[in-house]
Structure 1
Amino acid sequence: MAASSDLAVPRGPISSARPRSLSWLAAAVAALLAAADAAAEPVAELPSLVVTATLTERDLRDAPGSVTVITREDLDATPARDVFDAVREAPGVTVSGVGLSGRRVVNIRGLDSKHVLLLNDGRRVTATDEYIGHSDYGYAWVPLTDVERIEIVRGPLSALYGTDAMGGVINVITRPVGEDWRGAVRVLGGLTDHGRGGDEYQLGASVSGPLLDERLGLKFSALSARVDDTALKSDPSLTEVEGKDVLAATGSLTFVPVPGHRIEIGALGGEEERWRETDHRGGPPIHTSSYDLYRSQYFASYRGEVGPASLALNAYRSRFDAKNRTDDPAVPPTTRQNLLEDIIDGHVTLPILERHLVTVGGEYREETLEHPALAGGEDTADNRALFVQDEWSLLDDLILTLGMRYDDQRFFGSETSPRAYLVYHLGPQWTLRGGYGQGFKAPTLKQLSPEYSFAGAHSFRGNPDLRPEHSDNYELGASYDGGRIAATLTLFRNDIDDLLANLCVENCDSRVGRVFEHINIDRARTQGVESSLALTLPRGVELALDYTYLDARDETNQRRLAGRPRATGAIRVTWDQAPWGLKPQVRAEYTGSQVLYGAGTTRYDLPDYTLVHFNVRKDLARGIEFGLGVENLTDENPLEKSDDFGYSERGRFFYASLQAQFD
């Protein structure tokens, strides 16, 4: 059975070792090849069950929402290094640059990363871009060897998850403990061809299995990765794409006291370093600015069945610390920031009157932000919520999902978030779906505080007059699955009141040193069309295409919303039965035109660009696969097309990988 989003992922201590070169790859490759005799047959494809859209297991065709599932097979077929890489080509998902040094975030349907809730086995991943400022720190803490699948729900799920889920949810679901021991190891290393840095290595491993028959199980995974910084082509003394060094590990124990009841306890630990060569707010001195990032999470969960009722309970504490340092005493580091979250959530699901599946649940969440700019050095906000959901099978082929969540927040009082969604199967191949939902997003402690000011490459000021965002969201879609041909088409519209945004108020034409203030845009709208097509052709050829058209408007100022590409698309061609046992794949990503704004009415138009990637895989032995590839085959760099991009993609990159899976 497919893993549930309620399953907990193992967490554990991390090693203090930090390799700094690719020389270790030879030893790792030799160790993997030695494991060939113990390698198992590839894992069979799992049923298309999803859980994120309802908290209950549903067939993908029955899910009340626009859901994309990135399977274990998909992850094995592409050289994705982390969750960010894995989701960036999904329909409706766009990647946006958010400042200097190549940092990027994931957006869904024109709503930025602050509106996209990231979950790890159903538990919230600390939304660091809200607190550290435009960051992508949440995607590289679990090795992909430990991931069973990734579920992406596009559209609001505030009716289940509250704030942060106004744009959608990404749920990373790890591999459960099975009846037998199994594991996976993956190594990857590569070099850029332009001599300006950007070299990379990664080692990820996971193992799980029973310790005491079916009563006690263990999971453990670890990740070590490094990407060197890339020098700016026009000025090699500065950094174009920042470097990063990641160490992370997870571990958990699962205990089954009696059949039908399971308790799991675990922990996550990780540290990451980011660094770049930069100038001081647009002038000398040139110096190295580094961030040390620390993440931990401790959790306990219970899953059980009492008669026809299913019960789930989670309790976990998450902490994220960020510390900046510089190598020049003339440049002061930015202020250290710490975020602590304590969360308890749970729900009960019970079938009622044959055709109703009712879920009732609640959540308590307390956030504490430590920052010297806040009064007393810290501030705390808590949130209490109750929700109810009814999955009503009106007919055998007609399912209506109704939901409502009530949130009570310290600063803004109560919020209600309703949802209604209808799924109708016209036959075994055709499905119609559509619905309405409301979403909301509350400003963070930092955004509200008039004392708060962050001074880094750019500066941000708090604004006590901010209001919560509210959205009304509509979608209507159709899908066809004929086995060898599958296609979807979805129309969507989001009407947003008081959209939170950043307004540049000083030094807006400077490369660094811009000053932003948090504001509300009274009225905004994002609407568009999502489409996908998958074809299974003769001789093992598979073709997949995704295309999204987006019209994102600031209705108050009658102009396009900044940083939202007009169109995005992806194409993937895979040939699994090529000669000599090879499995080549070609992928392309298209990012359409977008706009940015400076002071006053200044507008910057950014051109479109396309990235092309190629990789080929080959089975060396049972369960062991070798891969070669090149990313950004045409060496495309948006920053060279326009200085106004403010971010870049890594240039042409050659890599090799080796993966082993065994029982």
Structure 2
Amino acid sequence: MKQMYAPPALSAALPAALSLSLLTLLISNAYAAPAPEASDAAMPTVVVTASAVALNVQDAPASISVITREEIERQPVYDLGTLLRRIPGVSGGLAPNGEQSKVKLRGLPENYTLILIDGKRQGNSADTNYRPDLGRQDLNWLSPEMIERIEVVRGPMSSLYGSDAMGGVINIITRKIPQKWSGSASANLTRPQDSDRGDATQMMLNVAGPLAQGVGLRLGGSVTRQKPDETTGGFVPAGREAPNGVGGSRDENFNAALNWTLAPGHLLSFDGSYGTQRATQSGTQTAPNRPLISSWGATKLVRKSAGMGYEGRWGKTEAKFNLYHNRYDNNDGAASSRAGSTILDGRVNQPLKLANIDHLLTLGGQWKRDTLFNNQTIGTIPIDYLGHAVVGSSLSRNTSALFAEDQVFLNDAFTLTLGARLDHDAKFGNHTSPRAYVVYRPASEWTIKGGVSQGFRAPTLKESTPGAATQSRGGGCGSLAPLGWNSRSGGCYMAGNADLKPETSTNAELGVNFQRAGWDLGMTYFHTNFKDKIEYDALGFFHGYWWTRMKNIQKARTRGIEASANLPLASSLTWRNNLTYMMESKNLTTGATLLATPKLSVFSALGWQVNKPLYLELSAQYTGKQLHGGESFGVTFAKAYTVTDLTANYAINPALTLRAGINNLTEEGPRADGKTNYYVPSRRFFLGLTSRF
């Protein structure tokens, strides 16, 4: 029986004195520090996101990829999207902010992906923005220095996580608190070759260790600054890139965790975090006709979180409970908005033997309260499209859930996972999400897995409220064109709808994997049908305004192939590859292609361990032709392009590592053709230093 159910465990832009002080600290600590403990690289990869218990990645009942600590350390990580887009089934992550920064799983928008840190929901800041699509994805509220690994599950996981996991789950796992005090500090600088592109700098620190017998503390933080790019102001010479770029930003994140071992097998934990994301215009304008680019989203977004948890073991029975609160505050001039969620969840794992067959049964539940206040979009219009007076700017909703999962170990080669979750929403009633998944190991080198699962996404507070109306200046009003609206009509209101139903999906997938002597080959076919898809639908001209509203009007289907091939070409040379081919990504109601889904995406990296201290990697990412622009304005496509990166890591000694490289080595990207303004960074040079102490 293959089961593992143990609990989861500087640049000129900065003041010269600050840069010098940090580098001095890094180097002095490095030469005084002991060598790090032996790596766990040879240990089996254990994941905790695809099931209610920890499992070997090959036995996990889902399509799952893992980004390791080693991969995170090899380059400056200003945005986790730059790492996530390297794995199969993932698109987006192309820019530091804006729409193209957002990560999508299997072609679905970012609001279909649930983001967790150590298994806990991070809430959602989207509805605190005037336009939810303008803000950044909530991926970067944790210092990369604190991340041990990132687990990405592709496909619906509503049977475990409920709503918001319709497209998949991204679970960020933090580093454990060690038995001895240790830590790391990093400084990174990225400088574009083009003078009209802004520098990026980053400083990170992580320290952890024991305070007393059985009590451990971890502290971490990071400061990331992106200077704004400049724009040509509209005119694009032949052969130049479209006039686009990224706005300036300054992000700060601070995190703390305290673990207290009450007795062997019983752990009490506390954690808290505070982070800000600021839009800035700090930079130097090189010419009057080249203004600095403004950032998308909030002028200042603040995130606060606090929580406590308990993990316990009684013989073979294990339990885990968490109580935590997340809050986002958007301070955008005279406007004010905030979103919060309070969550209590828990589960109990119990091995059983029934009819001489081993089972691992998990029972769990969750209670959640969501709140939203937004005086820009809720209660700011005098009447809704029904003619009702609109008052108040606050919304709230309670949800609860029960779930069960049974892993049935039919024999040493065959495991059947059955699971279901019952969600109760105070507004939308009950919804059941079942799944069945099979993992078959006919030989030690081969794994065949597949299954069927259902997903659902309940409408958000804003989507289901008629008085929650976002004003669009044109881009969101395209569905009104057949009714006489045009881009000179002054925009429209995009409103919620109290009669919405949850979106649902049925996903089927089948995959095969082969591993031997460092070779790792895999392929997965997936097919997902959606119904009751929520989109804006044209209403018309009412009470002096053009209106669209949310409505369950569409069906959609996605299907495709994900493949990977990791090949040991020599003892010091490895070749990693993955591919995503979208065979179909279609709105079945309108016949239109779904937005921003490349037909083909390929990532390939050749890694060379030149000698013990030096590692080189040459990687290339191909992004195929993809839809650009709204359906109502005609279907146009961004051309395919390939971005090539070269990176180097040099271990000066066991505690000091130097990183350097060139991003977009060949200056590739979508070129101006009058139809697209997709952003791809120009050639950039980076330098980084990490000290472990």
Give the TM-score of the pair, scaled to structure 2: 0.85
Shift of residue 101 of structure 1?
5.0
Shift of residue 137 of structure 1?
3.9
Is 1:657 matched up with 2:681? no
Partner in structure 2 of residue 227 of structure 1: 226
Mark the CA change 1:189 to 1:130 in structure 2 (over 3 Å): closer, same or farther: same
Partner in structure 1 of residue 307 of structure 2: 299
Matched ranges for 1:465-504 at <5 A: 465-502=499-536
- State how far apart, in whole Å, the 2-side matches of 1:449 and 1:342 are: 21
Determine which of 14, 17, 23 is the counterpart of 1:21: 14
1:288-342 Cα shifts (integer Å, max 9, x gaps)? 67610000100000000122210100000100011223xxxxxxx6x42200100
The percentage of counterpart residues that share the same residue type is 29
Matched ranges for 1:104-123 at <5 A: 104-123=101-120
Partner in structure 1 of residue 72 of structure 2: 75
- State how far apart, in whole Å, the 1-side matches of 2:645 and 2:96 are: 24
1:540-588 Cα shifts (integer Å, max 9, x gaps)? 111101100112011111231122111111111111125x943211111
Partner in structure 1 of residue 608 of structure 2: 575
Shift of residue 453 of structure 1?
2.5
* Contact 1:4–1:173, Cα closer than 8 Å, also in 2: no
* Contact 1:218–1:253, Cα closer than 8 Å, also in 2: yes
Name the count of aligned residue pairs.
626
- State how far apart, in whole Å, the 2-side matches of 1:287 and 1:595 are: 24
Shift of residue 224 of structure 1?
0.7
- State how far apart, in whole Å, the 1-side matches of 2:453 and 2:604 are: 31
Partner in structure 2 of residue 390 of structure 1: 406
* Contact 2:403–2:420, Cα closer than 8 Å, also in 1: yes
Is 1:259 matched up with 2:264? yes
Mark the CA change 1:29 to 1:389 in structure 2 (over 3 Å): closer, same or farther: same
Partner in structure 1 of residue 40 of structure 2: 44
Query: What is the RMSD of the two structures over their aligned residues, measured on CA atoms?
Result: 2.8
Partner in structure 2 of residue 312 of structure 1: 320
Matched ranges for 1:583-662 at <5 A: 583-596=615-628, 598=630, 600=632, 602-638=634-670, 640-662=671-693
* Contact 2:84–2:93, Cα closer than 8 Å, also in 1: no
Q: Secondary structure at the match of 1:626?
A: strand
Determine which of 461, 473, 480 is the counterpart of 2:494: 461
Shift of residue 139 of structure 1?
1.8
Amino acid across the alignment from 1:573: L
Determine which of 24, 27, 46 is the counterpart of 1:30: 24
Shift of residue 466 of structure 1?
3.1
- State how far apart, in whole Å, the 2-side matches of 1:413 and 1:646 are: 43
Partner in structure 2 of residue 534 of structure 1: 566
The structure in which a higher percent of residues are strand is 1
Is there any run of 5+ residues in structure 2 with no aligned partner, and where? 237-242, 283-290, 380-390, 477-492, 541-545
* Contact 1:261–1:304, Cα closer than 8 Å, also in 2: yes
Q: Secondary structure at the match of 1:320?
A: strand
Partner in structure 1 of residue 91 of structure 2: 94
Partner in structure 2 of residue 208 of structure 1: 208
Q: Secondary structure at the match of 1:61?
A: helix
- State how far apart, in whole Å, the 2-side matches of 1:535 and 1:99 are: 31
Partner in structure 2 of residue 547 of structure 1: 579
Amino acid across the alignment from 2:148: E
- State how far apart, in whole Å, the 2-side matches of 1:598 and 1:313 are: 44
1:189-234 Cα shifts (integer Å, max 9, x gaps)? 1211111132011011111111112x11101111111011111245
Q: Which is further off, 450-459 or 400-409?
A: 450-459
Amino acid across the alignment from 1:546: N
- State how far apart, in whole Å, the 1-side matches of 2:158 and 2:98 are: 33
* Contact 2:496–2:550, Cα closer than 8 Å, also in 1: yes
Matched ranges for 1:175-190 at <5 A: 175-190=175-190
Q: Secondary structure at the match of 2:102?
A: strand
Mark the CA change 1:529 to 1:516 in structure 2 (over 3 Å): closer, same or farther: farther
Q: Secondary structure at the match of 2:27?
A: helix
Shift of residue 115 of structure 1?
0.8
* Contact 1:6–1:312, Cα closer than 8 Å, also in 2: no
Partner in structure 2 of residue 60 of structure 1: 57
Partner in structure 2 of residue 559 of structure 1: 592
- State how far apart, in whole Å, the 2-side matches of 1:152 and 1:381 are: 28
- State how far apart, in whole Å, the 2-side matches of 1:600 and 1:28 are: 52
Amino acid across the alignment from 1:619: A
Is 1:426 matched up with 2:433? no
CA radius of gyration, larger in: 2
Amino acid across the alignment from 1:430: W
Is there any run of 5+ residues in structure 1 with no aligned partner, and where? 8-18, 278-284, 326-332, 507-513
Shift of residue 523 of structure 1?
1.1
1:339-398 Cα shifts (integer Å, max 9, x gaps)? 010000000000011610000000001000002224422010111100000011011110
Shift of residue 130 of structure 1?
5.1
Q: Secondary structure at the match of 1:140?
A: coil
Give the TM-score of the pair, scaled to structure 1: 0.89
Partner in structure 2 of residue 280 of structure 1: none
Q: Secondary structure at the match of 1:111?
A: coil
* Contact 2:609–2:615, Cα closer than 8 Å, also in 1: yes
Q: Secondary structure at the match of 1:35?
A: helix
* Contact 1:244–1:273, Cα closer than 8 Å, also in 2: yes
1:474-514 Cα shifts (integer Å, max 9, x gaps)? 000000011221111000000000223356999xxxxxxx9
Partner in structure 2 of residue 142 of structure 1: 142
Shift of residue 650 of structure 1?
2.0
* Contact 1:505–1:516, Cα closer than 8 Å, also in 2: yes
Amino acid across the alignment from 1:463: G
* Contact 1:607–1:641, Cα closer than 8 Å, also in 2: no
Q: Which is further off, 89-98 or 476-485?
A: 89-98
Q: Secondary structure at the match of 2:344?
A: strand
- State how far apart, in whole Å, the 2-side matches of 1:89 and 1:645 are: 23
Mark the CA change 1:439 to 1:53 in structure 2 (over 3 Å): closer, same or farther: same
